[in-house]
Amino acid sequence: MIKGNQHQIEQILSILENHPEGMSRGEVHELLDFPINIKTLQRRLAKLVEENEIIRVGERKASKYYPKPGVKEPSPAHLKDKKRPIFSPNNQKVLKFLDTPVYSRKNVSYKQEFLENYIPNKTFYVPKDRRNILHQEGKRYDRQLAAGTYAKHICQRLLIDLSYNSSRLEGNTYSRLDTQKLVEKGISAVGKIHEESVMIMNHKEAILFLIENAQDIEPNSWVIRNLHHLLAQDLLANPQSCGNIRTISVRIGESAYLPLDNPHLLRELFELILRKARKIEDPFEQSFFLLVQLSYLQAFEDVNKRTSRLSCNIPFIKHNLCPLSFTDVSQEDYTAATLSVYEMNDIGPMLDLFCWAYSRSCQQYTVVKRSLGEIDAFRIQYRQQRKSAMGLVVRKNLHGKQAESAIEAFCQANQIDNVDKFTAMTMADLETLHSGAIVGLGITEAQLDEWLVAKH
């Protein structure tokens, strides 16, 4: 037993004994009646694990702590005791392998043939009838519009929903309301560890990167590695690991799956995944392929599942389909479906989850679409002119009345009749301008920084 602070140690043990289902570090912290730094608590918990007083399952932020006496192996969702309505009866049978504790399951390694046997537009993970249903649910416009139009219309809502849900699936304890405050106002929730705030803000930046560059993004190495960099920044011990294929071995918590540890082969297979993905014509098949294969390869030191969840939204953003925000997907169901891919290469449970989650997202954003109204044809018609005007304002470092006057003069020079509407629209866009949204404005980051400093 840890010496000193005996009362505190006993209370930690007592809290865990009263929660045999397991608790995260943050959940333990919230129930303590004495002040303690979250890092100090982390060290205390680690010491208790080392001394075999409690059990830890999972790694990093996904870790959960369990009391030692009578602990059940916390395989995802305790499948034998929990009904899982999103999975078909057949796939519930598939997931029965998780009833066996991880230490009793046979270790399995990465199987290259799972990827190599996939032939784009001939192999289909998502059956045609399901793809047709998903397309009917996800379609948002009857006419072809610029890539990213729909995502930009629901941008603020998507930033909150996807940041919250993707972080929640990693064990983040932020509430949706606290996520909204952080995303919209930069206000961190009281009592939360710093890493949780960083995780959510990283999601915000990564999602904006996809939306603002919708016209140009595709599943290639540059996009996915930059996406990983944005999601992983300030969260990994080695900053050089952000956006780079890993050079170290990794293990998967709660799993008998052993990912590859050959850096050269990892790079080769990473490129093969993306090459095949780019050839896939159907957006739903492409999305699901990315979700499965990027997560399975574990090409990065960490943050692989987050990268796969945002990557799978690339075809939806490009094709103006409803995005996938993973609303109401439980962490247990997601983990179970993921482990069936890792350990059995069985995509059935993940396909059930993907289709269910996508339908749920479509229901959610149908309401959002109605509240937003129809696409503003004027905004689409003068998009390029608006970008040119914004670039002009930034380069000349104009603000307030001077900026408005410059935009009005721009309208006269470019025969834009509705001066008031164009000016109001451009000024509103300038209010939300950031470094991830300067493509096409004809400005540099340095010019933007100078303009932003003068603005404030």
Alpha-carbon distances, residue 83 vs 334, 346, 359 (angstroms): 14, 20, 20
**pLDDT for residue 43:** 85
368-409 tens-digit pLDDT: 444 444 456 677 678 889 999 999 999 999 999 999 999 999
For the chain, which domains are there? 6-67 (1.10.10.10), 89-372 (1.10.3290.10), 377-455 (no CATH)
* Structure confidence at residue 85 (pLDDT): 77
Confidence of residue 214 (pLDDT cuts 50, 70, 90): very high
Q: Say if residue 289's pLDDT is above 70.
A: yes
On the question of pLDDT at 207 being above 80, the answer is yes
Q: Please say whether the beta carbons of 392 and 403 come within 8 A.
A: no
DSSP 376-393: -HHHHHTHHHHHHHHHHH
Structure tokens at 321: 């389909």
Report the pLDDT value the prediction gives residue 367, as an integer from 0 to 100: 53
The mean of the pLDDT values for the chain is: 88
What per-residue confidence (pLDDT) applies to 35?
82
Bridge partners of residue 257, in order along the sequence: 108
Q: Which residue in this structure is represented by tokens 């509407």? A: 421
Percent of the chain with pLDDT over 90: 61
Distance of CA 132 to the CA centre of its chain: 25
Select the more confidently predicted residue: 142 or 283.
283
92-101, 360-369, 399-408, range with the lowest pLDDT? 360-369
| Cross-strand pairs, 65 | 23, 56
Task: Look at residue 377 in the predicted model and tell me its pLDDT.
Answer: 63
Q: What is the pLDDT of residue 44?
A: 86
**Mean pLDDT of all residues in 67-90:** 57
Residue 446 has pLDDT above 50, yes or no: yes
Asked whether the predicted pLDDT for residue 258 surpasses 60, the reply is yes
* pLDDT the model gives residue 273: 97
Q: Is the dihedral of CA 206, 209, 214, 219 positive or negative?
A: negative
pLDDT at 201 over 60: yes
Span 299-344, pLDDT tens digits: 999 999 999 999 999 999 999 999 999 999 999 999 999 999 999 9
Predicted local distance difference test score (pLDDT) of residue 141: 82
Task: With H, G, I as helix, E, B as strand and everything else as coil, classify residue 341.
Answer: helix
- Measured distance CA(230)–CA(212) in Å, rounded: 14
